[in-house]
Amino acid sequence: MIKLIDLLLESKYTFSKPQITRDEEDNSIISVSYYFNTDKNKYEVIFNSFQKPREFDVEFGVDKGETYALDTDEMTGEGKALSIFNTISDIINSFLYNFSEEYDKVIISGTNDKRKGIYRKIFSKKINDRYLDKVEII
């Protein structure tokens, strides 16, 4: 039987240093990518400002390689959802801290209504309170 304390203490994964893409004209950040591996998959967390300058959308999912789009819908069945969400939360907090002068807003949005609800519950509790005024979870 799994105990709640075991779930809360579920370990996180180590993530990469950020890979940053900057605009050649004004040196502003276009995107920042982080990676981490589980036993079965490689994940990518991307912050991109393609829609509006200084406004970053967060995407995360299974990285299937350069010739594939980031898979933000796959249910991996790894049984490590909490560890994965804890790692993604740590990455988001790292971005918010390390690039605080580079953004006005960070938007976390699920790909469907179920995921949006899960993201609101999880990330609203795991994002550092210092940055919540600049994070929109929709």
How many domains does one find in the chain?
A: 1
Banded pLDDT at 78 (limits 50, 70, 90): confident
| pLDDT interval class at 11 (50, 70, 90) | low
**pTM listed for this prediction:** 0.88
Which CATH number goes with the domain that contains 111?
Answer: 3.30.310
| Cα 73 from chain centre | 14
Closest by CA position to 80, among listed 11, 16, 126, 15: 11
Question: 3-state class of 96 per DSSP?
Answer: helix
- Could you tell me what percent of the chain has a pLDDT over 90? 75
Q: Which residues lie below 8 Å from residue 132, measured CB to CB, with a gap of 6+?
A: 124
Q: What is the pLDDT of residues 99-114, one digit of tens each?
A: 999 999 999 999 899 9
The per-residue pLDDT of the chain, averaged, comes to 90
| Average pLDDT of span 62-81 | 79
| Structure confidence by residue, pLDDT tens digits, 38-62 | 999 999 999 999 989 999 999 999 9
For the beta carbon of residue 45, count every other beta carbon within 10 angstroms.
Answer: 25
Q: How many CB atoms lie within 10 A of CB 120?
A: 14
Which residue carries 């779930």 as its tokens?
7
Mean pLDDT value of segment 14-33:
96
In the DSSP assignment, the letter for residue 97 is H
Tell me the residue range of the domain where 93 lies: 4-137
